[in-house]
């Protein structure tokens, strides 16, 4: 019997092993945060899927605002109102649903639960789909920021408030020659829209809720436009798009987002955001 | 790819080169056996926005989905070899809101017993004790397949004592999670001798999990994004220990298991960060204490169970959610109900904190009459009620001609916690139910069910009726209907939940969820065809639950064992 107890003890000891060296954990919030993008730095796109009837989605939106404070312009959030909870209330002032948003959730996949977001349209190890639960966002953004961009994306908006006409110029400059098929997507966002949203604080929707980074329209196809030009190192490809900002949108709260992504697996390689300046 | 081809070749070699028929091996006659089974589900989706069967790729444009599992087992010369082909076409099992298509080898294994040593390799299902620290298992209706892809050794120290050790990684559909898992257990059996009436079945187990580097980077990145007040430590290695014993003494059986998990980082979706956002990683040890005491004699069976759980979420990494990446299994503490309406509200096991008791009494004063009373009460660690159920059942059998079964179920269900619906009120239900079985002769019988779910919360009240005509041993025909009896409440709730109703919907009209099905069984083959219309709800298997959207369409299932 003593033999058995001894072997049991040894087996347990072998399994639990010795003391481990724990990972070093810094505190991002204790510092000034990462440096701002002087030149072209890697930017990360986070597409949050939400809906005005999604009671838990405001928690995810609040988390994105916290991450924005930490990563500044290196994080580009987009709130896409699509999926099960996105139908507006009869009292809603706006319908944030867009045909493009419906297409995007169609090809990126429906979330299994909310809040949910897709980061750089990439499937990460250990995750079963592109859709990521809120707990996974903060850990993946620095990982993506560490990747050097292989193409620069520079966005410039020209807005005429008299005609509400917007001209979007995008410059794409590969760092090295790129053989892969790439696409470009241009989105128009509107920030700080006050309208109904169901929140955990009440069983009735909050009429004063401020919706952030709302996808309003796209200037390309919802799955992006093919970049047909040769992607030669240090050679800039310029593209131009025009759009008229609808009257009901607050132009000063609008911005555009451009991102280049792979044609096959949709992975985002680089992105840029610019506000509307006259 | 090469590995798969090699695996196929090896298995084919084993199957055909060794021969499928009886062979001589020394003085011992060895017989090769090959067996298997097939389970396949075909779903044909018919959109019906009124009941909520809409808005998924299957209803929008795919129209059809299928899942299939084909298992083949081969035994020869003490070798036990298995191979399983899994197929998912437009499947809604992985994510009920989305479509999943993939196929490939879902499982293979090789087992061999060499004297006292047992060797197993491949995708393995196993557990330690009741599964509290480790359980690798499969639940196809929820697409849980937590097989351990690794190696297991067992050794019989004596006839009554066995040691077991294993190591591997957990399966993730057709891939693997990055973390490694290893474990060890010792299980014994002690008896007081031929004259004694007691036995002991003690056991001890330990399981370790090591987080992979990529995942640890994510954990560190996540913690670094927190305010200093929320910052925690992180560890690569976590260990869970468990000691358990079954004491059988005369008419009593007492099982007790205590488990402890060393401190690790886990996700608490309800915890508030210093910056006000909800959900964060926490770093704490965990524990579970579970015990059940049973008394059984002729005509009487009594079982009392109790469980306390604290911070015992044990997963491959802290970022997997719902029923993914679970290393362990916490036994449910509420009755497993089978009738449609008594099973509508289920208590999903709460990993982060739960206190539960359950009492079950079965009493049969005669062969004709039987009684069953079940009581369960589940609270969180602050004693806030999560679930309470009182279930009563009376059975009366008249010769072999007919049988009447009926009773009453009372439930209180915390929808806010179980379904993460903030501000949702406790659902209170009263459910009377009755089942009547009449046998026309030895082959033909008719079974009827009626249940009524009375509640003012959630989707309101329901009624359910069923007629099942069976012609043994081959045929069974069923017609059933589940109907809303408070349609105003039903439509109000589904609309609040986000569904857009057709403009011309009559909100006072009862909504019918009818099913017509036929089942044909022949030897070990079973075919079933169903026109089904099912409301949305929570589907649970063994305390593990998930949301299932409404279904409308045709289901065709084939189960075959060969």
Among chain A residues, CA nearest to B186: A8
Whether the pLDDT of residue A132 is over 50: the answer is yes
Q: How many CA atoms lie within 13 A of A163 on its CB side?
A: 9
Note whether B209 and B237 are within 8 A (CB): yes
pTM for the model stands at: 0.86
Contact B279 A134 (CB under 8 A): yes
Q: How far apart are CA B219 and CA B229, in angstroms?
A: 17
- Residue positions counted in chain A: 278
Residue A223 belongs to some domain of the structure: yes
Contact A106 B97 (CB under 8 A): no
Q: What is the pLDDT of residue B322?
A: 84
Q: Quick check: B222 contacting A, CB < 8 Å?
A: yes
Q: What is the mean pLDDT of chain A?
A: 87
What is the DSSP pairing of strand B402-413 with strand B385-398? antiparallel
Q: What is the pLDDT of residue A266?
A: 94
Share of chain A above pLDDT 90, in %: 70
Residue A256: domain span: 40-275
A61-100: pLDDT as tens digits = 999 999 999 999 999 999 999 988 888 888 899 999 999 9
Q: What is the pLDDT of residue A33?
A: 46
Distance from CA of B520 to the nearest CA of A (A): 35
Q: Quick check: B155 contacting A, CB < 8 Å?
A: no
Size of interface A-B (CB pairs under 8 A): 173
Residue A11 belongs to some domain of the structure: no
> Which member of A4, A16, A129 has the closest CB to residue B161?
A4
Q: Quick check: B276 contacting A, CB < 8 Å?
A: yes
Q: What is the pLDDT of residue A10?
A: 59
User: With a cut of 50, which residues of chain B have pLDDT below it?
Assistant: 1, 6, 8, 10-29
Residue A33 belongs to some domain of the structure: no
Q: What is the pLDDT of residue A6?
A: 60
Q: What end-to-end distance do the CA atoms of chain B give, in Å?
A: 29
User: Nearest-CA neighbor of B236 among B266, B206, B268, B209?
Assistant: B209
Q: What domain count does chain A have?
A: 1
Residue A6 belongs to some domain of the structure: no
Q: Best mutation site among B164, B222, B228, B323 for testing chain A: the one with the most A CBs within 10 Å?
A: B222
- To 10 degrees, what angle do helices B213-224 and A134-145 make? 100
> Which member of B98, B217, B236 has the closest CB to residue A143?
B217
User: Nearest-CA neighbor of A214 among A83, A96, A51, A66?
Assistant: A96
Note whether B377 and B409 are within 8 A (CB): no
Residue A265 belongs to some domain of the structure: yes
> Which member of B172, B208, B279 has the closest CB to residue A59?
B279
- Residue A32: φ, ψ to 5°: -80, -10
Note whether B133 and B205 are within 8 A (CB): yes
- Phi/psi-derived region of residue B439, left when phi > 0, alpha when psi is between -120 and 50, beta in every other case: beta
DSSP state of B52: T
Note whether B148 and B166 are within 8 A (CB): yes
**Which residues between 176 and 195 in chain B have a beta carbon less than 8 angstroms from any beta carbon of chain A?**
177-178, 182-184, 186
Q: How far apart are CA B153 and CA A122, in angstroms?
A: 38
> Which CATH number does the domain housing residue A147 bear?
2.60.40.10
Residue A10 belongs to some domain of the structure: no
Distance from CA of B377 to the nearest CA of A (A): 27
Burial of residue A19, with CB atoms counted within 10 A of its CB: 0-12 exposed, 13-18 middle, 19 or more buried: exposed
For B478-513, the DSSP string reads EEEEEEES-HHHHHHHHHHTTPPPPTT--TTS--EE
For A55-86, the DSSP string reads TTHHHHHHHHHHHHHHHGGGEEEEEEE-STT-
For B509-561, the DSSP string reads S--EEEEEEEEEEETTEEEEEEEEEE--EEEEETTEEEEE--EEEEEEEEEEE
Domain ranges of chain B: 115-331, 332-372+383-510
Q: What is the pLDDT of residue A17?
A: 59
Which chain A residues have a beta carbon less than 8 Å from that of B186?
4, 8, 11
Burial of residue A174, with CB atoms counted within 10 A of its CB: 0-12 exposed, 13-18 middle, 19 or more buried: buried
Residue A24 belongs to some domain of the structure: no
Residue A240 makes CB contacts below 8 A (sequence gap 6+) with A167, A168, A169, A170
Q: At B48, list the tokens.
A: 């019906």
At B199, which helix (H) or strand (E)? Answer: strand B198-210
Q: Quick check: B307 contacting A, CB < 8 Å?
A: no
Contact A12 B496 (CB under 8 A): no
Which chain A residues have a beta carbon less than 8 Å from that of B177?
126
Contact B172 A128 (CB under 8 A): yes
Contact B172 A59 (CB under 8 A): no
Q: How far apart are CA A260 and CA A249, in angstroms?
A: 26
ipTM for the assembly: 0.83
Note whether A251 and A219 are within 8 A (CB): no
């Amino acid at each position: 019997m003593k033999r058995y107890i001894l072997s049991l003890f040894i087996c347990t000891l072998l399994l639990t092993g010795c003391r481990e060296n724990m990972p070093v954990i810094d505190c991002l919030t204790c510092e000034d945060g990462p440096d701002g993008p002087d030149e072209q730095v890697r930017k990360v796109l986070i597409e949050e899927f939400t809906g005005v009837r999604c009671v838990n989605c405001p928690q995810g939106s609040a988390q994105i605002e916290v991450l924005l404070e930490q990563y500044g312009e290196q994080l580009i959030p987009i709130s896409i109102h699509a999926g099960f909870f996105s139908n507006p209330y009869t009292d809603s002032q706006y319908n944030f649903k867009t045909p493009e948003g419906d297409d995007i959730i169609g090809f990126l996949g429906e979330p299994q639960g909310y809040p949910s977001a897709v980061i750089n349209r990439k499937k990460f190890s250990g995750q079963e789909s592109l859709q990521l639960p809120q707990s996974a966002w903060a850990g993946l953004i620095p990982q993506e920021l560490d990747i050097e961009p292989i193409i620069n994306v520079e966005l410039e908006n020209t807005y005429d408030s008299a005609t509400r006409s917007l001209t979007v110029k995008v410059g794409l400059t590969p760092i090295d020659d790129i053989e892969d098929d790439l696409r470009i997507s241009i989105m128009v966002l509107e920030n700080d829209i006050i309208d109904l949203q169901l929140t955990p604080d009440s069983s009735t929707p909050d009429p004063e809720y401020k919706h952030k980074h709302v996808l309003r329209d796209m200037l390309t196809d919802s799955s992006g436009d093919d970049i047909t030009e040769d992607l030669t190192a240090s050679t800039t490809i310029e593209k131009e798009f025009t759009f008229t900002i609808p009257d009901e949108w607050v132009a000063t709260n609008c911005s555009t987002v451009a991102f280049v992504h792979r044609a096959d697996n949709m992975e985002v390689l680089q992105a840029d955001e610019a506000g509307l300046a006259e | 790819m090469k590995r798969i081809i090699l695996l196929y070749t090896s298995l084919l070699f084993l199957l055909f080169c060794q021969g499928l028929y009886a062979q001589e091996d020394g003085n011992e006659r060895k017989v090769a056996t090959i067996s298997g089974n097939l389970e396949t589900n075909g779903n044909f989706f018919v959109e019906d926005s009124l009941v909520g069967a809409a808005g998924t790729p299957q209803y929008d444009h795919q129209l059809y989905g299928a899942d299939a599992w084909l298992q083949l087992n081969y035994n020869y010369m003490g070798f036990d070899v298995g191979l399983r082909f899994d197929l998912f076409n437009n499947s809604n099992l992985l994510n009920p809101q989305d479509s999943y298509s993939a196929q490939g080898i879902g499982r293979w294994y090789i087992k061999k017993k060499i004297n006292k040593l047992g060797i197993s390799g491949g995708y393995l299902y196993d557990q330690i004790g009741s599964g509290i620290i480790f359980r690798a298992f499969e639940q196809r209706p929820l697409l849980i397949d937590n097989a351990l892809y690794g190696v297991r050794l067992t050794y019989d120290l004596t006839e009554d004592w066995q040691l077991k050790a294993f190591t591997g990684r957990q399966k993730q559909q057709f891939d693997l999670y990055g973390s490694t898992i290893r474990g060890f257990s010792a299980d014994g059996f002690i008896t007081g001798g031929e004259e004694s009436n007691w036995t002991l079945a003690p056991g001890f187990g330990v399981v370790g999990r090591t987080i992979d580097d990529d995942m640890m980077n994510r954990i560190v990145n996540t913690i670094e994004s927190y305010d200093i007040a929320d910052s925690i430590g992180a560890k690569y290695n976590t260990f869970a220990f468990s000691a358990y014993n079954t004491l059988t003494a005369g008419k009593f059986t007492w099982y007790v298991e205590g488990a402890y998990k060393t401190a690790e980082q886990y996700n608490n979706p309800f915890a508030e960060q210093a910056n006000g956002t909800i959900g964060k990683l926490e770093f704490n040890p965990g524990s579970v204490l579970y015990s059940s005491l049973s008394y059984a004699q002729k005509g009487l069976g009594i079982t009392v169970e109790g469980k306390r759980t604290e911070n015992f979420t044990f997963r491959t990494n802290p970022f997997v959610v719902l029923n993914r990446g679970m290393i362990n299994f916490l036994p449910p503490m509420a009755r497993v109900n089978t009738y449609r309406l008594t099973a509508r509200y289920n208590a999903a096991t709460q990993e982060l904190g739960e206190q539960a008791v359950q009492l079950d009494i079965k009493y049969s004063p005669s062969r004709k009459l039987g009684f069953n009373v079940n009581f369960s009460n589940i609270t969180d660690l602050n004693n806030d009620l999560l679930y309470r159920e009182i279930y009563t059942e009376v059975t009366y059998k008249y010769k072999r001609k007919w049988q009447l079964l009926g009773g009453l179920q009372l439930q209180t269900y915390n929808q806010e916690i179980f379904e993460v619906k903030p501000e949702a009120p406790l659902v209170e239900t009263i459910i009377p139910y009755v089942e009547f079985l009449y046998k026309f002769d030895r082959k033909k019988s008719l079974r009827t069910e009626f249940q009524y779910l009375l509640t003012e919360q959630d989707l309101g009240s329901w009624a359910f009726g069923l007629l099942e005509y069976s012609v043994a041993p081959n045929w069974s025909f069923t017609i059933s209907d589940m109907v809303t009896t408070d349609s105003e409440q039903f439509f109000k709730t589904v609309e609040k939940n986000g569904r857009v109703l057709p403009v011309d919907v009559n909100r006072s009209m009862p909504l019918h969820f009818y099913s017509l099905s036929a089942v044909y069984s022949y030897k070990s083959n079973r075919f079933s065809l169903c026109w089904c219309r099912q409301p949305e709800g929570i589907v649970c298997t063994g305390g593990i639950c998930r949301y299932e959207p409404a279904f409308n369409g045709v289901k065709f299932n084939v189960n075959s064992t060969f």
